[in-house]
Amino acid sequence: PALMSCPQVQRALLALTVPLEMLQAVKGRMLQAMRKGLSRQTHAQANVRMLPTYICSTPDGSEKGDLLVVELCQSHVRTLWVTLLGDGNQSPQVMYKIFDTPEDIMKGKGEALFDFIAQCVRQFLAGISSPQHRLPLGFVFPFSCRQTRLDKAELISWSKGFSCSDVEGKDVVQLLQSAINKQELYHVDVVALMNDTVGTMMTCSMGGEPCEVALVVGEQRAPRVPGWWVLGGLRWCSPPLLPADTGTNSCFMAEAQQVEMAEETSGRMCVNTEWGCFGDDGTLSDVLTPYDQRVDQESSSPGERRFEKLVGSLYLGEIVRHALTALAAEKALFIGSSVAVLRTKDVLKTQQVLEIIDNEEGMAKARGALEALGLRPSERDCCRVQQICRAVVSRAAALCAAGLAAILSHMCQSRELERLVVNVGVDGELYQGHTRFREILQSVTGLLAPECTATLLPSVDGTGQGAAMVTAVTLRLAAQRREVDRLLAPLRLSRTDLERVQVLMRREMELGLGRESNANASVRMLPTYVCGTPDGTERGEFLALDLGGTNFRVLVVRVAQDDIRMASEIYVIPTAIMQGTGEALFDHIIECIMDFQLKQDLMEQVLPLGFTFSFPCQQLGLDKAVLLTWTKGFSASGCVGQDVVHLLREAAQRKKHLGLKVVAVVNDTVGTMMSCGYDDPKCEIGLIVGTGTNACYMEEMQNVGTVEGEQGRMCINMEWGAFGDNGCLDDIFTDFDRLVDEKTINAGKQRWARAPGWGGGWLGGGCARLRLPGLCPGRFEKLISGMYLGEIVRHILLALVKKQLLFRGKPCPKLQTRDIFQTKFLSTIEIDGLALRQVRAILQDLELQASFEDSVLVREVCQTVSLRAAQLCAAGLAAVVEKMRENRGLARLTVTVGVDGTLYKMHPRFSQHLQQMLRDLAPNCTVTFLQSEDGSGKGAALVAAVACRGAEPRGQPPLSPQ
d(Cα 686, Cα 900) in Å, to the nearest integer? 8
Of these partners, ligand ADP, Mg ion, none, which one is at the site of residue 265 (CB under 5 to 8 Å by kind)?
A: none
Q: Residue from 37, 59, 514, 690 that binds ligand ADP (CB under 6 A)?
A: 690
Residues 690-709 that bind Mg ion (CB under 5 A): 690
Set 268, 553, 885, 909: catalytic member: 553
End-to-end CA, the chain: 116
Q: Could you give the dihedral angle defined by the CA atoms of residues 939, 945, 946 and 950, in that order, rounded to the nearest 10 degrees?
A: 170
Query: Which stretch, 272-280, 342-350, 489-497, 823-831, contacts ligand ADP (CB under 6 A)?
Result: 823-831
User: CA torsion sign, 101 to 107 to 110 to 112?
Assistant: negative
Q: CA 912, 913, 916: angle at the middle one, nearest 5?
A: 85
> Strands 64-72 and 135-140, how do they pair?
parallel
Task: Answer yes or no: 553 catalytic.
Answer: yes
Residue with Cβ nearer ligand ADP (822 or 926): 822
Residues 242-271 that bind ligand ADP (CB under 6 A): none
CA count, 13 A, side-chain hemisphere, 953: 27
Q: What backbone phi and psi angles, to 5 degrees, belong to 553?
A: -130, 150
Write each residue from 380 to 419 as x if it is in contact with Mg ion (CB under 5 A), else as -, in one continuous string. Answer: ----------------------------------------
Write each residue from 528 to 557 as x if it is in contact with Mg ion (CB under 5 A), else as -, in one continuous string. Answer: ---------------------x--------
Instruction: Find the helix packing angle between 786-802 and 735-746, rounded to 10°.
Output: 120
Find, among 414, 292, 399, the residue nearest to 12 by Cα: 292
Q: Does 616 bind ligand ADP (CB under 6 A)?
A: no
d(Cα 873, Cα 653) in Å, to the nearest integer? 44
Residue with Cβ nearer Mg ion (320 or 930): 930
Q: Residue from 61, 458, 549, 727 that binds ligand ADP (CB under 6 A)?
A: 549
> CA–CA distance from 324 to each of 9, 297, 360, 389 (Å)?
10, 17, 22, 10
In a 10 Å sphere around its CB, with 0-12 CB exposed, 13-18 middle and 19+ buried, how is residue 63 labelled? buried
Q: Does 908 bind ligand ADP (CB under 6 A)?
A: no
Q: Does 906 bind ligand ADP (CB under 6 A)?
A: yes
Q: Does 403 bind ligand ADP (CB under 6 A)?
A: no
Q: Does 691 bind ligand ADP (CB under 6 A)?
A: yes
The DSSP H or E segment spanning 549 is none
Residues 769-808 that bind ligand ADP (CB under 6 A): 786-787
Q: Is 336 left (phi over 0), alpha (psi -120 to 50) or beta?
A: left
Shortest Cβ distance from residue 905 to ligand ADP (Å)? Answer: 8
DSSP code for 956: P
d(Cα 720, Cα 525) in Å, to the nearest integer? 8
Find, among 544, 570, 546, 564, the residue nearest to 556 by Cα: 544
Residue with Cβ nearer Mg ion (306 or 782): 782
Shortest Cβ distance from residue 827 to ligand ADP (Å)? Answer: 3
Shortest Cβ distance from residue 612 to ligand ADP (Å)? Answer: 10
Q: Residue from 313, 823, 871, 932 that binds ligand ADP (CB under 6 A)?
A: 823
Shortest Cβ distance from residue 789 to ligand ADP (Å)? Answer: 7
Q: What backbone phi and psi angles, to 5 degrees, belong to 328?
A: -65, -40
Q: Does 749 bind ligand ADP (CB under 6 A)?
A: no
Q: Does 901 bind ligand ADP (CB under 6 A)?
A: yes
d(Cα 895, Cα 880) in Å, to the nearest integer? 11
Q: Does 843 bind ligand ADP (CB under 6 A)?
A: no
Residue with Cβ nearer Mg ion (462 or 690): 690
Shortest Cβ distance from residue 401 to ligand ADP (Å)? Answer: 44
Of these partners, Mg ion, ligand ADP, none, which one is at the site of residue 721 (CB under 5 to 8 Å by kind)?
A: none
Of these partners, Mg ion, ligand ADP, none, which one is at the site of residue 221 (CB under 5 to 8 Å by kind)?
A: none
Residue with Cβ nearer ligand ADP (527 or 901): 901
Query: Which stretch, 103-111, 457-465, 466-474, 685-693, contacts Mg ion (CB under 5 A)?
Result: 685-693
547, 614 contact by CB (below 8 A): yes
Of these partners, Mg ion, ligand ADP, none, which one is at the site of residue 462 (CB under 5 to 8 Å by kind)?
A: none
Q: Residue from 215, 796, 869, 903 that binds ligand ADP (CB under 6 A)?
A: 903
- In the chain, % helix, strand, coil (3-state, to 5) comes to 45, 20, 35
Shortest Cβ distance from residue 674 to ligand ADP (Å)? Answer: 16
Residue with Cβ nearer ligand ADP (124 or 904): 904
DSSP code for 600: T
Q: Does 866 bind ligand ADP (CB under 6 A)?
A: no
Q: Report how many residues bind ligand ADP under the rule CB under 6 A.
A: 15
Shortest Cβ distance from residue 931 to Mg ion (Å)? Answer: 12
938, 739 contact by CB (below 8 A): no
441, 62 contact by CB (below 8 A): no
Residue with Cβ nearer Mg ion (271 or 689): 689
Query: Which stretch, 234-242, 285-293, 842-850, 901-909, contacts ligand ADP (CB under 6 A)?
Result: 901-909
Q: Residue from 74, 337, 827, 956 that binds ligand ADP (CB under 6 A)?
A: 827
Q: Could you give the dihedral angle defined by the CA atoms of residues 217, 221, 226 and 230, in that order, rounded to the nearest 10 degrees?
A: -140
Of these partners, ligand ADP, Mg ion, none, which one is at the site of residue 786 (CB under 5 to 8 Å by kind)?
A: ligand ADP
Residue with Cβ nearer Mg ion (65 or 790): 790
Query: Which stretch, 181-189, 621-629, 658-666, 902-910, contacts ligand ADP (CB under 6 A)?
Result: 902-910
Set 144, 250, 394, 614: catalytic member: 614
The DSSP H or E segment spanning 927 is strand 925-931
Shortest Cβ distance from residue 554 to Mg ion (Å)? Answer: 17
The SS3 call for residue 790 is: helix
Residue with Cβ nearer Mg ion (98 or 673): 673
CA 880 to chain centre: 34
Find, among 256, 257, 240, 206, the residue nearest to 98 by Cα: 240
Write each residue from 313 to 332 as x if it is in contact with ligand ADP (CB under 6 A), else as -, in one continuous string. Answer: --------------------
68, 137 contact by CB (below 8 A): yes
Shortest Cβ distance from residue 547 to Mg ion (Å)? Answer: 12
Query: Which stretch, 242-250, 451-459, 521-529, 682-690, contacts Mg ion (CB under 5 A)?
Result: 682-690
Find, among 304, 120, 161, the residue nearest to 243 by Cα: 161
DSSP secondary structure, 833-898, as one string = SS-HHHHHHHHHHTT----HHHHHHHHHHHHHHHHHHHHHHHHHHHHHHHHHHHHTT-SSEEEEEE
Residue with Cβ nearer Mg ion (403 or 721): 721
Find, among 204, 277, 192, 236, the residue nearest to 427 by Cα: 204
Set 115, 245, 358, 668: catalytic member: 668
Shortest Cβ distance from residue 522 to Mg ion (Å)? Answer: 22
Q: Does 907 bind ligand ADP (CB under 6 A)?
A: yes
Q: Report how many residues bind Mg ion under the rule CB under 5 A.
A: 2
Shortest Cβ distance from residue 901 to Mg ion (Å)? Answer: 6
Task: Answer yes or no: 166 catalytic.
Answer: no
Find, among 812, 107, 62, the residue nearest to 475 by Cα: 62
Residues in contact with Mg ion by the rule CB under 5 A: 549, 690
Active-site residues, by number, are 553, 614, 668
Would you tell me which residues interact with ligand ADP (CB under 6 A)? Answer: 549-550, 690-692, 786-787, 823-824, 827, 901-903, 906-907
